[in-house]
Structure 1
Amino acid sequence: MDLDMFSMIAVASGMLAVPILAFIACFFLWPSALINFYNWYWRRALGMQVKHAEHGKYRFSYSFRGKQGNQPSILMLHGFSAHKDMWLSVVKFLPKHLHLVCVDMPGHGGTSRSAGEDYTAEGQVKRIHQFVECIRLNRKPFHLVGTSMGGNVAGVYAALYPSDLCSVTLICPAGLNCPNDSQLIKLLQGSETSQSTRKIPLIPSTPEEMDEMMKLCSYIRFKIPQQILQGLVDVRIPHNDFYREVFLQIAGEKSRHSLQENVHKISVPVQVIWGKHDQVIDVSGATVVSSALPGCRVDLLEKCGHSVVMERPRKTAKLILEFLTSQRCNEGCNDKKTS
């Protein structure tokens, strides 16, 4: 009896030790695998399913939850060098009955990466419009959300395809000629190397550079273990040449001020959310949008940097929901006046 009990304890201990040892091995030897597992786990936990949509030979990768219904669907566009899973922290605080779609931007994540692709703001807008038509998201007007590079694309999309949308949320959008230079602009201007060889702070290749990038992007100082920083770098390094190509295109003459050049064409209701301590794209850009669109809603967040989605996910979700609710109320009031 004692021997049987000892055997059971030994087996149980062994079963428990396997996942613990696997976690330790991943943490120290394959931190990138741990990060991928983390994203997979949260997609599952939040009910997000991953699918693909084809446009000719071009493939879009996206995650979604829910179905199109009476309320507007929400399409989310991530920022430079990110992927669709960056929205999971916001999805957590959005009602499960809403139809949510998070797509990998052109060349990012699981979406096709083609040689000679146009990664300017307008080039990406055309691709996102192809995606929208592929999944028939524009059968009803939907709400578009974009952050940083995705905010630039979202704003230009609203200007070029207004009939697709009911409203748009721009979070720290790029593509503006901000009155004040950000810390990133100052770092880039201070570089003495040519544009093609210039060190870009948003494209780290070492754990130390990754840590510096996170300090640049976030007001909150996250204490991230060296192994996780290494994992984050390991995931990015194979894509760094691509990220440089995209950065040079979106920062080039054709795309640098794309949103500013198109903002006056936006006819749908606009919400702007910005971290007051944004060091990547200066918060003074909010005044550029509000001056061009006097009726837009502007929400400036205290003690928040460029990574609004990561730093203040609950607040971001709350503000988006408040904006959508206010638009429905306005529509209801307008319907009563015309009846």
Structure 2
Amino acid sequence: MEITDSLATDTKDAPEWFHSAISQNPRRENLQHQLGNLAYQVWDRDKAQDIIILIHGTGAHKKWWDPIAPLINKNFSIIAPDLPGMGESDHRQEYNFEGFSEALVAMMYQENIINNGQKIYLVGHSLGGHVAGFMASEFPDLFHGVVMIDSPIRPPTYDYDKHQSTGPLRKIKYYPDKVSILERFRLMPPQECDNSWYLRYIAENSIYNVKEGWRWRFDDKLFATLRRLHNYEFQFKCPALFIAGGKSLLLESKIMKYIREAFKDSMDVEVIEGAAHHVPLDSPLELVSLINKYLQEWGKK
């Protein structure tokens, strides 16, 4: 990405590792799917043996991973998709986990990484963790490890009809200029984040200009039409890791207690104390360190 003057100003205090990471230029690709265009980007590593797929959360996009992907173990090439309805992927009439999975599988086929001897690992944040867990459960022989980052796994009996979404309830509105819309950027669910340079970077990549004005990239129908995992139970054949933020509302909740008990034999649990829900933004280096640690351990099995 070309760093604009406004972005450069707001990231002048960012650490050197951040500037180095976002200066890398992943290969950007599009896939013409029957339900609309799908966008993704790839960090190709010359000596990479295996693949990691980084899956963003609700309303987010592939650029959330730009500061993180270059820090992941160099033995892996990395794919970061825009899920349907988000980022630069086309909007759809409705959204569900089957559709998200179909989109990711189509990208994997386009990249020729299925059934070619490479091991594939999934890493997802929030909604992306749910997608990763769903795919690891549905395709148990395809994936060799899954990492879910602060993704609330609820019991199969959870009543989603009573679930209150934290997403925006208002329709997309248009802003007259870039400054106006960037001033409205907020994390969902709401939280403070000390790394303002990271926030600014993802905000800059969350907007685009159309004839009506500046708007967010995500489809506002997503929050109303996304079909949740009713009566679904995650089952992991591959190694699995759950990473929670120490300041996340999940940590001491009934959901976290359920996760620790229900998956005690199939999933490790780690806590990053300084992070809230948006772990990649709050504690990027600690997150990468944990991911690399487990990738190394899983590679020995």
TM-score normalised by the chain length of structure 2: 0.73
The equivalent of 2:106 in structure 1 is 130
- Measured in 2, the distance between the counterparts of 1:269 and 1:105 equals 24
Aligned partner of 1:119: which letter?
Answer: Y
Counting matched residue pairs gives: 271
- Higher Cα Rg: structure 1 or 2? 1
Aligned partner of 1:313: which letter?
Answer: P
1:304 aligns with 2:249: no
3-state DSSP of counterpart to 1:76 = strand
1:110 aligns with 2:85: no
3-state DSSP of counterpart to 2:215 = helix
Q: Do the aligned residues in 1 keep the contact of 2:132 with 2:148 (CA within 8 Å)? A: yes
Classify 1:125/1:283 alpha carbon distance in 2 versus 1 (closer, same or farther; 3 Å): farther
Q: Do the aligned residues in 1 keep the contact of 2:126 with 2:152 (CA within 8 Å)? A: yes
Q: Do the aligned residues in 2 keep the contact of 1:218 with 1:311 (CA within 8 Å)? A: no
Cα deviation, 1:270-294, whole Å, max 9, x if unaligned, reads: 1011112224x56633433332222
Aligned partner of 2:43: which letter?
Answer: R
The equivalent of 2:16 in structure 1 is none
Q: Which consecutive unaligned segments of at least 5 residues does structure 1 have? A: 1-21, 32-40, 179-184, 189-194, 332-339
1:314 aligns with 2:296: no
3-state DSSP of counterpart to 1:73 = strand
The equivalent of 1:287 in structure 2 is 257
- Measured in 2, the distance between the counterparts of 1:322 and 1:80 equals 27
Aligned partner of 2:87: which letter?
Answer: G
1:90 aligns with 2:61: no
Q: Do the aligned residues in 1 keep the contact of 2:43 with 2:70 (CA within 8 Å)? A: no
- Measured in 2, the distance between the counterparts of 1:249 and 1:306 equals 23
Q: Do the aligned residues in 2 keep the contact of 1:220 with 1:311 (CA within 8 Å)? A: yes
Mean CA deviation greater in 70-79 or 213-222: 213-222
TM-score normalised by the chain length of structure 1: 0.66
Cα deviation, 1:45-101, whole Å, max 9, x if unaligned, reads: 224221223334643211111258664310011111111110112124223442111
Q: Do the aligned residues in 2 keep the contact of 1:210 with 1:233 (CA within 8 Å)? A: no
- Measured in 2, the distance between the counterparts of 1:173 and 1:158 equals 14
1:80 to 58, 62, 68: 58
- Measured in 2, the distance between the counterparts of 1:324 and 1:234 equals 33
- Measured in 2, the distance between the counterparts of 1:187 and 1:124 equals 19
Which structure dedicates a bigger proportion of its chain to strand? 2
The equivalent of 1:54 in structure 2 is 32
User: What pairs up with 1:40-51 in 2 under 5 angstroms?
Assistant: 45-51=23-29
The equivalent of 1:172 in structure 2 is 150
- Measured in 1, the distance between the counterparts of 2:201 and 2:295 equals 37
Classify 1:144/1:187 alpha carbon distance in 2 versus 1 (closer, same or farther; 3 Å): closer
- Measured in 1, the distance between the counterparts of 2:50 and 2:64 equals 21
3-state DSSP of counterpart to 1:75 = strand
Aligned partner of 1:248: which letter?
Answer: A
The Cα of 1:216 is off from its aligned counterpart by: 4.9
3-state DSSP of counterpart to 2:114 = helix
CA RMSD of aligned residues (A): 4.0
% same residue: 17
1:238 aligns with 2:208: no
Q: Do the aligned residues in 1 keep the contact of 2:137 with 2:237 (CA within 8 Å)? A: yes
Classify 1:199/1:73 alpha carbon distance in 2 versus 1 (closer, same or farther; 3 Å): same
The equivalent of 1:23 in structure 2 is 5
Cα deviation, 1:212-245, whole Å, max 9, x if unaligned, reads: x349544534568xx99996886596347x5431
- Measured in 2, the distance between the counterparts of 1:44 and 1:208 equals 19
Classify 1:120/1:230 alpha carbon distance in 2 versus 1 (closer, same or farther; 3 Å): closer
Which structure dedicates a bigger proportion of its chain to helix? 1
